[in-house]
Amino acid sequence: MSNPLTPTVVAHVLNTKSRTADEIKDANLQEVPELAATLQSAPEEERRHAEAHFRQHIETFASAVEHDFDISYPNYDFIVEQGAYRARQKYPLAVQLHSYRIGQRVCWKTLCESLVTNDGPMPEPTWRLMIALSVFTFEYVNHISAILANAYYKESSKLEQTASSVRAEFVDRLIRKPDDPTLANSAARFHFDANSRFLVVLARFLEANGNSSDQISEVQRCLDQVFSPICEHRLTDLWRGDAICILSAQKYSDHDFEQVLNSEVSEKIVEMNCRIGISTAQQGLNSISDSYEDALTALEQTSRDHPVLRFNAMSVFDHLVANAKNSAYRLKPRWVESLIAEDKRSGGALLQTLSTYVNSRMSAKKAAEILKIHTNTVYQRINKIEELCNLTAPDSPNLIDILVVANLHRHKEN
């Protein structure tokens, strides 16, 4: 050993380790409320584990000092085990690291006891050793903190992968096997009451922008934040490329939901460049499969102007268009492409005017009021549609046919 006083310091640290461990524990109880709560509510075995962990730290520190301050000499497996153990407990990592800093301070006090006297000036070996110990205590606590944090994150990642797998499997069964009799038992793990009312929200990015998993995580955080005031229990995951959020809507009301949508969702979704489809609330776990289909239907009817759409806000017309059979798309009159192209050039004004005109019982005046345009403009647009479609009898059935066929093919393009 390079310093003749090192054996004296090591011996003092080991001889007083029980007292020092108690002081570390007491300081932690006073300064770390989370640890105090854990120890006070824990069984005797947990308290003994904590005390043994403090003593092991002191022994490990002394071992490194004894071997010429070689920080790589001791075995740190107990730190790795502690990190994994705290991760499984979901104990905050920052709190455990704070606890180690407290241990460093108490240990320094013990070290000073063996070196500091009141017998005149401090001899050179003493102050040299104090400087070395001062530097090494910081190095030691940083070293064990890094080991602990690494073990904590590894275990957390493993737990998250397991939880993610379980969550994905549960979502898959909810959607594809709604009559599975084991669903109720699985639901309890996610704090879902099988007889509650459930709501499904789907989110889809318009285009990839960076890491897709990061994008989905961002949507998940947004959905959790937005819906937490009205839905205490939520399950968020990825399903067929879309973020899905299943909400237990037991306390949900239409008024509450409208408020949340109007105040927060649309603005945040637009910022993230994605679209949202939302089902109605239905009773029971076996309703989630239908709710998923409803949310998907709403999602596929969203647009730039309406990035968030609730299923029960869709018109029957929009719903029929969205769920048309493949054979409906083969109904393609010669004028369809010309009409859709002209509608695109007008920024969607032609079909919007036609839809409003039909819904206004073919009253140009009423349609103009709704669209905030001149009545003559309504007539001009309807005449343009009649011209494009070679329509000789502009009655209601013919106009509705045009509207249905045009929207079918526009929906297909989208």
Q: Read off the pLDDT of residues 91-118 as tens digits, 9 standing for 90 and up.
A: 888 888 998 999 889 888 888 887 776 6
Which residue in 311, 242, 244 sits closest to 282, CA to CA?
311
Higher pLDDT pick, 151 / 34: 151
User: Any long-range contacts for 152-156 (C-beta under 8 Å, 24+ apart)?
Assistant: 152/83, 152/84, 152/86, 152/87, 152/93, 152/96, 153/87, 154/83, 154/84, 155/83, 155/84, 155/87, 155/88, 156/87
269 or 363: which leads in pLDDT: 363
Model confidence at 251: pLDDT above 70: no
- What pLDDT, on the 0 to 100 scale, is given for residue 1? 47
Whether the pLDDT of residue 414 is over 70: the answer is: no
Helix axes 364-371 and 375-388, enclosed angle (nearest 10): 110
The whole-number pLDDT of residue 60 equals 93
pLDDT at 42: 64
> Which of 140-154, 275-289, 316-330 has the largest mean confidence?
140-154
d(CA 375, CA 359): 15
Instruction: Report which of residues 56 and 332 the model is more confident about.
Output: 56
More confidently predicted of 228 and 188 = 188
State yes or no: pLDDT of 266 exceeds 60: no
Question: In the predicted model, is pLDDT for residue 17 greater than 50?
Answer: yes
- pLDDT attached to residue 252: 57
Name beta bridge partners: 201.
245, 278
Q: Judge if pTM exceeds 0.85.
A: no
Considering only 28-37, 124-133, 202-211, which range has the smallest mean pLDDT? 202-211
With bands split at pLDDT 50, 70 and 90, how would you rate the model's confidence at 326? confident
For strands 308-310 and 274-278, give the pairing.
parallel
What average pLDDT does range 405-411 have in this prediction?
Answer: 71
Please report the pLDDT score of residue 145 as a whole number.
Answer: 94
398 closest CA partner among 362, 368, 347: 362
